[in-house]
Amino acid sequence: MGSASNPDDTETNDSVTVLTFDLEGRRYCVRAESVESVLGVANDDPLADAADPWDAGTVTLAGERVRVVDLPRAFGSSLRTTARVDEPKLLVFAVTDDEGRYYGWLVDDVDVTRSVRPASLEPLRVETTHVKGRLEIGGEEVVWLDERTIHG
């Protein structure tokens, strides 16, 4: 993977595996090694009605608590709850918060893992702390999210 001197891997030419996923018709990715599992969500009504999409609630999966970030609402309109996809997915990350809860991102759909070169990242036109940059994967523009800043 990356060099020890650069834990972020954004400046190296080494290949990194990312997991791609969709939010409201846009393609995003995150480092695949940071994702513990991907789960289907049968009923997201309690999460969709949460007052704060950045802390949309906690679900228990296999005895573990997962703090959910509702990314479609956090990145889109906070009022968007009726136009959700039928079966959203939950990306569960391998890190926990101060209360021992895992982090989970509610997303529209999950695609596959891809190998990319972080050195090919281009900056966004808008300054944001949640994004590492953008790159092209398979002819599509993909926004690489920074899970560390999203988790706070």
Distance CA(118)–CA(106), nearest Å, equals 25
> Given a cut of 80, is residue 44 above it in pLDDT?
no
pLDDT tens, residue by residue, 113-141: 999 988 888 877 766 778 888 999 988 99
E strands, 24-100, are 26-31, 35-40, 58-61, 64-70, 89-96
Whole-structure pTM value: 0.79
| DSSP of 67-85 | EEEEHHHHHS-TT--TT--
- Chain centroid to CA 16: how far? 16
For β-strands 58-61 and 64-70, DSSP reports them as antiparallel
> Given a cut of 90, is residue 32 above it in pLDDT?
yes
